[in-house]
A = this chain, B = another copy of it.
Amino acid sequence: MPADQPLGEFQLIDRFFARARRPTRADVILGVGDDAAVLRLPADHDLVAAIDTVVAGRHFPFDSPPHSIGHRVLAVNLSDLAAMGATPLWATLALTLPAADGEWLGEFAGGLLRLADEEGVALVGGDTTAGPLTISVSILGSVERGTALGRAGGRAGDVLVVTGTLGDAGAGLGLCMGRLAPMDPAAAEALVKRFQYPTARVAFGRAARGIASAAMDLSDGLVGDLPKLAAASGLAARVDVARLPLSDALRRSLPIGPARELALAAGDDYELLLAVPAPRLAELEAAARRLNLMLTAIGELIPGDGVEWLLEGASYAAPSSGFDHFR
């Protein structure tokens, strides 16, 4: 920023998040601008809380459009609440920035606040600090008492289903990073958009309560995440790799083998993985249809531990781990 126009931290926050000072929800008793927010939870609801961080150069390329970074950091948090069947209500933002760049902040705030408006989420507080670009959002929501979906409720025989298609965001990131060459411009654009603007499956998560037995979101890829759901439920899982839902855009951009590897291991799709008792699968499918959301059965929970990956009846060597930040 120009040296003749220094902007202090507080002015910056005021300028770009000014709208957040006027609470859009009646349950925000005290929002941005005090030491903490005061919030009114609906009666007979539990609080649902998660925190997720995105780091420049790690979770997104340094040159990502700031608007997409703002969208993405909120979407990945919304996805955690979606996996619980919770309704997102409020968010706080911890923003660490190398410099007070007005243009960057304006676009970032625009992306974050647009999605917040779409989902009815109020930004109720935050902290801005100088440092390497790192952004955490703490998301807060509610769920009717006793109805939250966890990872531990799966039972042997439950069908494993996933929403949407898998691997798109991984291919989109590969295209952004120049590791994957675009074959088809329209497909490439669709894949990049899936990485930059993920959609949290909030409405479906809510609809799945009382039907699904367990749920989680796919942030680290199926090979990283499914073992956690299976272990939390005290079970093993079996997956038919041929049934993984792959988008047309992904199929047009990659041969089937690499497309499946992305669907298994790339992460960043923010689709939901659910376990559902077989007799109730039709109900869950109906709920997905009402939301115009694809739902695909990919396998089942079975006694034991670990995950068995199969392709045409034979054992399939899945990539050995999901996205693990320290490997």
The residues of A with any CB-CB pair to B shorter than 8 Å are 6-10, 12, 29-30, 33-41, 46-59, 79-81, 83-84, 86, 90, 92-94, 96, 99-100, 124-132, 134, 136, 138-141, 143, 145, 148, 150-152, 215-217, 228, 232, 321, 324-327
Whether B34 lies near A49 (C-beta < 8 A) is: no
Whether B86 lies near A36 (C-beta < 8 A) is: yes
Whether A49 lies near B59 (C-beta < 8 A) is: no
Beyond the given A55-B129, A94-B136, A131-B134, could you list 20 further A-B residue pairs with CB under 8 A, ordered by the A residue number? A9-B324, A35-B80, A35-B84, A36-B50, A36-B81, A36-B83, A36-B141, A38-B46, A40-B46, A40-B47, A41-B47, A58-B129, A58-B130, A58-B131, A92-B138, A96-B134, A127-B136, A128-B325, A129-B325, A132-B134
How close is A123's CB to chain B, nearest CB, in angstroms? 11
Copies in the complex: 2
Q: Which chain B residues lie closer than 8 Å to A215 at the CB level?
A: 35
A127's partner among B52, B93, B124 (CB-CB below 8 A) is B52
Whether B40 lies near A127 (C-beta < 8 A) is: no
Given A51-B125, A55-B130, A321 and B34 contact (CB-CB distance below 8 Å): no
